[in-house]
Structure 1
């Protein structure tokens, strides 16, 4: 899952929209204050995590159709760690988070890219949730079934009385 997390982080870095910033005399501002690039980075991460969740849930199911709690816990923990690794990798490899240095390097009234951020930290659980949901649906549809319990044995037929069935007299 950590190797897949690296792939998620690199895809997020490549596909996420950049937030254009501009340095003016009073400081650093968004170039387009009404732009949607900042939320677009979160949306890109969520969409990629949904896809990665479906694929990893399917792969884990195909690998071990027997299921088990250990498999589900491993899938959830591995996907969560992969998601955190992807987030940190994208932030570290993305544009610098030091706005002052980036603004100084760009110059006054010049546009530069803001840092890649994941504003909605809840996006980190999308991959584990989707992986577990996919695995659950596949296990419910195609997974191993417990054998049906055997029907109880029929009671033995009644034993006829030894006296031939004559009624008793008192």
Structure 2
């Protein structure tokens, strides 16, 4: 006569550290996913090392990152127009000395050249903050490809804005301008960016703000259970 089997304890008396035993062969077969990537019982997508549980696949992330980089870079068109419109003008004057034209600054102590670089830098910082906020709101999950795309797009947008502003501004041939306006007449100098480091203002601001928003308001990773352990429902 065999010994009576001890019934399992009620659910409320089980320890939270109880672990489930590995499934039997029948349960393993029932959990085998179909060829389309879904489980037969639940119909949910399977997960493995080639899938990401918390986000899209790497190909999708790279595609989204490429779209983000292009969209951010196109913002450089607006930055270039604003820079050309808001940047202070540097006054030049042409004069004839010894039969040849000479061009010089009308106000040698003026700070218009510094204001041109400062205007670009402040606008680029603002564009970096806006682009980081928009990207975070659109895709809170973040990810390395998205951060790289934000930096690359910001740098490309800065270069585009710089070249567009120069193209929209006065002609670069100052001698031709001096001859066209006449001797002693003030005209605007070409729009140029003296401090090339201002091109990094956009990507720097975008990266700092995006990383800060992701760290403060981004989704949190779920707590990992020990290997072989499962969470007991109701524990």
Larger mean Cα displacement after TM superposition, 89-98 or 19-28: 19-28
Cα distance, 1:31 vs structure 2 = 0.4
Residue in 1 aligned with 2:204?
129
The CA RMSD measured in Å over matched residues stands at 1.5
SS of 1:145's equivalent?
coil
Cα distance, 1:106 vs structure 2 = 1.1
Kindly tell me the number of residue pairs found equivalent between the two proteins: 154
Cα distance, 1:3 vs structure 2 = 2.4
Report if the CA contact (8 A) 2:73-2:155 is conserved.
no
Residue in 1 aligned with 2:191?
116
Report if the CA contact (8 A) 2:147-2:207 is conserved.
yes
Cα shift readout 1:18-75 (whole Å, capped 9, x = no counterpart): 1000012231110000000011100000000010000000000001111100000111
Q: What runs of 5+ residues in structure 1 fail to find an aligned partner? A: 155-170
Residue in 2 aligned with 1:150?
225
Match of 1:15 among 86, 89, 100: 86
Residue in 2 aligned with 1:43?
118
CA–CA distance in structure 2, aligned partners of residues 113 and 73 of structure 1: 39
Relative contact order (alpha carbons < 8 A, sep ≥ 6): 1 or 2 greater?
A: 1
Residue in 2 aligned with 1:166?
none
Cα distance, 1:153 vs structure 2 = 9.4
Cα distance, 1:10 vs structure 2 = 0.1
Larger proportion of helix:
1
CA–CA distance in structure 2, aligned partners of residues 124 and 92 of structure 1: 17
TM-score (norm 1): 0.87
SS of 2:88's equivalent?
coil
TM-score (norm 2): 0.63
